[in-house]
Structure 1
Amino acid sequence: MSFNLDVRLKRANKVYHEGEILAGVVVLVSKEAVQHQGISLTMEGVVNLQLSSKSVGVFEAFYNSVKPIQLITSNIEVVKPGKVPSGKTEIPFEFPLQAKGNKLLYETYHGVFVNIQYTLRCDMKRSLLAKDLSKTCEFMIHGQKARVQPTPLDFTIAPDTLQNVRERSSLPKFLIRGHLNTTNCVITQPLAGELVVESSAVPIKSIELQLVRVETCGCAEGYARDATEIQNIQIAEGDVCHGLPIPIYMVFPRLFTCPTLETTNFKVEFEVNVVIVLHDDHLITENFPLKLCRV
Structure 2
Amino acid sequence: MCLNTIDLVHAIEIKAMPTRIELKLSRPNSIYHPSAVEIEAMPTRIELKLSRPNRIYRPSEPLQGKIVVKSASSISHYGIRMALNGSVNLQVRGGSAGVIESFYGVVKPITILSKSLDIKPSGKIVSGTTEIPFSIILRNSKEDNLERFYETFHGTNISIQYLATVDIMRGYLHKPLSAIVEFIVESDRADLLDQPIPPEIVIFYITQDTQRHPILPELKSGGFRIIGRISTQRSMLEPLSGELTVEASAIPICSIDIHLLRVESILLGEKIVTETSLIQTTQVADGDVCRNMTLPIYVVLPRLLTCPTVLAGPFSIEFKVAIVISFQSELSKLHPKSDPRTPRLWTAMETLPLELVRTSAFDSNAKD
Q: TM-score, normalised by structure 2?
A: 0.75
Question: What is the match of residue 256 of structure 1?
Answer: 305
Q: Using the alignment, how far apart are the partners of 2:109 and 2:209 within structure 1?
A: 45
Partner of 2:234: 185
Whether contact under 8 Å (1:44, 1:120) holds in the other structure is yes
1:198-213 equivalent positions in 2, closer than 5 A = 198-213=247-262
Aligned ranges 1:89-168 → 2 under 5 Å: 89-98=130-139, 101=145, 103-143=147-187, 144-146=191-193, 148-165=197-214
Which of 299, 305, 328 is matched with 1:279 structurally? 328
Give the length in aligned residue pairs: 293
* Structure 2 residue 43 is matched with structure 1 residue 2: yes
Question: Which residue of the other structure, out of 58, 63, 81, is the alignment partner of 1:17?
Answer: 58
Alpha carbons 2:153, 2:306 under 8 Å: kept: yes
Q: Which residue of 1 aligns with 2:76?
A: 35
2:288 is aligned with what amino acid?
A: D
Whether the 8 Å CA contact 1:66–1:218 is kept in 2: the answer is no
Secondary structure in structure 1 of the residue aligned to 2:238 = coil
Residue 90 of structure 2 corresponds to which residue in structure 1?
49
Rounded to whole Å, the distance in 2 between the matches of 1:59 and 1:164 is 29
3-state DSSP of counterpart to 1:66: strand
1:106-140 C-alpha deviation (Å, 9 max, x unpaired): 00001010000001011122244433221111111
Q: 2:124 — aligned with what?
A: 83
Given that residues 159 and 168 in structure 1 are in contact (C-alpha distance below 8 angstroms), is that contact kept between their aligned partners in structure 2? no
- Max Rg structure: 2
Shift of 1:213: 0.4
How much has 1:100 moved relative to structure 2? 5.0
Amino acid at match of 2:59: E
The amino acid across from 1:293 in the alignment is V
Q: Secondary structure at the match of 2:108?
A: coil
The structure that is strand-richer by fraction is: 1
Percentage identity across paired residues of the two chains: 37
Write 1 or 2 for the structure with the bigger share of helix: 2
Q: Tell me how far apart the structure 2 counterparts of residues 176 and 34 of structure 1 sit (CA, whole Å).
A: 70
Given that residues 204 and 277 in structure 1 are in contact (C-alpha distance below 8 angstroms), is that contact kept between their aligned partners in structure 2?
A: yes
Change (3 A) 1:91 1:101: same
The answer on 1:58 being equivalent to 2:100 is yes
Q: TM-score, normalised by structure 1?
A: 0.92
Runs (5+) with no aligned partner, structure 2: 1-41, 333-345, 360-368
Other-structure match for 2:246: 197
- Determine whether 1:268 maps to 2:313: no
**In the alignment, which residue of structure 2 is the partner of 1:291?**
355
Q: CA deviation at 1:168?
A: 7.8
Greater mean deviation of Cα atoms: 280-289 or 164-173: 164-173
Tell me the SS of whatever aligns to 1:68: strand
> What SS does structure 1 have at the residue aligned with 2:208?
coil
Identify if the C-alpha distance between structure 1 residues 41 and 265 changes in structure 2 by more than 3 Å, giving closer, same or farther. same
Cα distance in 2 for partners of 1:273, 1:166 equals: 17
Residue type of the alignment partner of 2:356: L
- Worse-superposed segment, 33-42 or 222-231: 33-42
Q: Does 1:233 align with 2:282?
A: yes
Higher normalized contact order (CA 8 Å, seq sep 6+, divided by chain length): 1
CA distance in 1, matches of 2:146, 2:93: 29
- Measured against aligned partners, the alpha-carbon deviations of 1:126-159 in whole angstroms (never above 9, x if no partner) come to 2444332211111111123135232111111101
Mapped partners of 2:322, 2:304: distance in 1? 20
- How far residue 8 of structure 1 moved from its aligned partner, in angstroms, is 1.4
What runs of 5+ residues in structure 1 fail to find an aligned partner?
Answer: none
